[in-house]
Amino acid sequence: MKTDTLLQLFEDYLLDNLPSSKSFHPIFEDALSLMLKAGGKRFRPMLLLSIVDAYEPLLVKNALQVALSIEFLHTYSLIHDDLPAMDNASLRRGFPTLHTKYDETTAILAGDALNTHSFYLLSNAPLSSDIKIELIKSLSSDGGIDGMIIGQACDCYFENTTITLDQLEFLHIHKTAKLIATSLKMGATIANLPLKTQEALYNFGIDLGLLFQIQDDIIDEISSEEEAGKTTSNDSAKNSFVNLLGLNGAKKSADDLSKKCEITLNNFDLNLKNNLQNLLLNYLYRHNK
């Protein structure tokens, strides 16, 4: 299936399955859906669907609910990341952040709702129970204490404190890369690929996620808010790759990782390579655009 077709299939599915509060609250339902409807790259769900489509195209429709659960969890993380206690950002996906459009309480609770509902979606996906258990294990680990949460905790705790490059990589592997890596692994789980292939895809995802973070740090430094669709020049207190390595050093690191990811991609079998290459075409070297 072409990447554009796969993306449209996911977008239609998302719009048909937006979360609902089913209550008399005057704004909460809108708050739940706003950041989901605002768009975004849909990169993580598309990674999952691209893997399934490469090996088990008949399972793509069954995998849509799993892909949606990843997008819900990712969107919750963005809502919370933008809060005053975190990055205090005013723009996300080209729209005002939830705490600025509504209030901080609404933003916190909307994020909480998307987080928990992602696992409701996973547990009710039209897949076998054994597969669903593995998917829940993957997402809860890499989206939780062993992944995104500890990365975010380190990011916030060490503001205005210089850390080492190894520590910075640990921070962003956990905060950003693991959710990208687990999206690939979850697609491989649905397609019932061998454990060795699942591990290779996960490791590829770690490199890809770290590349994305370095690219985001570069974009934060050189792009306007209109170009980025989110608050920029907001990393002065953070341990970013630009702050630690300088802009040229960060670009070199991104170039090195891009080349590594390209080599790995070329070593995958043809179906997998073609599906991922179509998706990644606009991403691997976006820091040089």
DSSP annotation string for 106-171: HHHHHHHHHHHHHHHHHHTSSS-HHHHHHHHHHHHHHTTTTTHHHHHHHHHHTTTS---HHHHHHH
What is the pLDDT at residue 116?
97
What is the pLDDT at residue 57?
97
Average pLDDT, the chain: 94
CA-closest candidate to residue 75, choices 102, 37, 101: 37
Q: What is the pLDDT of residues 210-220, one digit of tens each?
A: 999 999 999 98
Query: Rounded to two decimals, what is the model's pTM?
Result: 0.94
What is the pLDDT at residue 220?
87
CATH superfamily of 3-288: Farnesyl Diphosphate Synthase (1.10.600.10)
**Strand ranges (E), 32-88:** none
d(CA 249, CA 254): 9
| DSSP helix/strand/coil, 88 | coil
Q: What's the one-letter identity of residue 20?
A: S
Mean pLDDT of the region 173-191: 98
